[in-house]
């Protein structure tokens, strides 16, 4: 599972309930909660890059991977990790309030996706052409907590020419969040602004050549477009977190090879980061 990074409008601090029963980490398996239909991150066939990273970690722990499958929706962390159905979520945004996060094992950004034959070469949300072009953005819901590009366009008054694509999509179809990339290839929209790992993977899957270009943050940007991704564990499992940190550090080269194979756009860690909130 790799939740769409969203930015909280308010600074909040998740405090684990003292009434919550402590759930021990399994000593016999690396128990992971993941979405069964969410490439390039995870699927039930084990084809996602987070599946591969889970397998790598399990080998280091000398344990098998055991999955609890749960669709990536609101309530994911609350209904899985915090209920003790697993001990780790491989794709948790760094510093999320919903879990204790490991060190980030990669940083990626939102990107512009266009057809290469369009020659748009858009790199900034301040590009004036975004006011005329048909722009696709990923959306989460109608409660104001949407990914940064959707919020940033709305702040600029770019609304009427924007088409929203749910990050959840039609779950009856394989890889539902890929529809926004398909829309660019099919010329249903001119440009899409998409979370990098998803864009990098699906942009190379079709017959139409697509360009993937990181969103360059404007000076004094209110919202971030770069996020670190970590492994989420339950609060209180500091020893387990440190064990995972050691594995992530020791196996960094192998992890980077996995990310490269899936065309994940990697960027440097940002100097400043805002608090963010991700699905419960």
Q: State the pLDDT at residue 213.
A: 97
Can you list the positions of beta strands (E) in 46-141?
Answer: 65-69, 89-93, 100-101, 106-115, 135-139
pLDDT computed for residue 15 by the predictor: 46
CATH 3.40.190.10 region(s) of the chain? 30-106+227-261, 107-214
**What pLDDT, on a 0 to 100 scale, did the predictor assign at position 279?**
44
What is the predicted pLDDT for the residue at 219? Answer: 72
The dotted CATH code for 30-106+227-261 is: 3.40.190.10
Question: Could you please report the per-residue DSSP string of 163-192?
Answer: EEEESS--TTSSSGGGHHHHHHHTTSSSEE
Quote the distance between the C-alpha of residue 109 and its chain's center. 9
Instruction: Identify the bridge partners of residue 112 per DSSP, sorted by sequence position.
Output: 193, 213
Fold of 107-214: D-Maltodextrin-Binding Protein; domain 2 (3.40.190)
Q: Which pLDDT score, from 0 to 100, does residue 280 have? A: 46
Confidence (pTM): 0.90
Q: What pLDDT tens digit does each residue of the chain (280 aa) get? A: 455 665 544 434 444 544 456 899 999 999 999 999 999 999 999 999 999 999 999 999 999 999 999 998 888 999 999 999 999 999 999 988 899 999 999 999 999 999 999 999 999 999 999 999 999 999 886 555 689 999 999 999 999 999 999 888 777 788 888 999 999 999 999 999 999 999 999 999 989 999 999 999 877 778 899 999 999 999 999 999 999 999 999 999 999 999 999 999 999 998 766 555 544 4
Q: Could you tell me the two tokens for 279?
A: 């699905």
């Amino acid at each position: 599972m790799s939740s769409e990074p969203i930015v909280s409008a308010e600074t909040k601090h998740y405090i684990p309930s003292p009434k919550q029963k402590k759930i021990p980490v399994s000593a016999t398996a690396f128990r992971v909660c993941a979405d069964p239909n969410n490439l390039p991150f995870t699927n039930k066939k084990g084809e996602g890059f987070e599946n591969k990273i889970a397998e790598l970690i399990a080998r280091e722990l000398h344990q098998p991977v055991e999955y609890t499958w749960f669709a990536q929706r609101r309530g994911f962390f609350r209904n899985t990790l915090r209920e003790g159905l697993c001990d780790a979520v491989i794709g948790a945004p760094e510093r999320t309030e919903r879990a204790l996060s490991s060190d980030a094992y990669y940083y990626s950004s939102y990107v512009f996706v266009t057809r290469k034959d369009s020659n748009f070469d858009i790199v900034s949300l301040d590009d004036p052409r975004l006011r005329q072009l048909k722009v696709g953005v990923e959306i989460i819901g109608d409660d104001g907590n949407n990914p940064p590009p959707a919020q940033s366009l709305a702040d600029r008054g770019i609304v009427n020419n924007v088409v929203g694509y749910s990050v959840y999509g039609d779950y009856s179809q394989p890889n539902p969040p890929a529809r926004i990339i398909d829309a660019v290839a099919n010329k249903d929209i001119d440009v899409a602004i998409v979370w990098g790992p998803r864009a990098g993977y699906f942009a190379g899957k079709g017959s139409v050549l697509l360009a993937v270009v990181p969103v360059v943050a404007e000076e004094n940007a209110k919202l971030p477009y770069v996020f670190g991704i970590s492994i989420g564990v339950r609060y209180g499992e500091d020893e387990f977190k440190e064990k995972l940190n050691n594995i992530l550090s020791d196996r960094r080269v192998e992890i980077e090879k996995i990310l490269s194979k899936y065309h994940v756009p990697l960027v440097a860690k940002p100097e400043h980061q805002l608090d963010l909130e991700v699905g419960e």
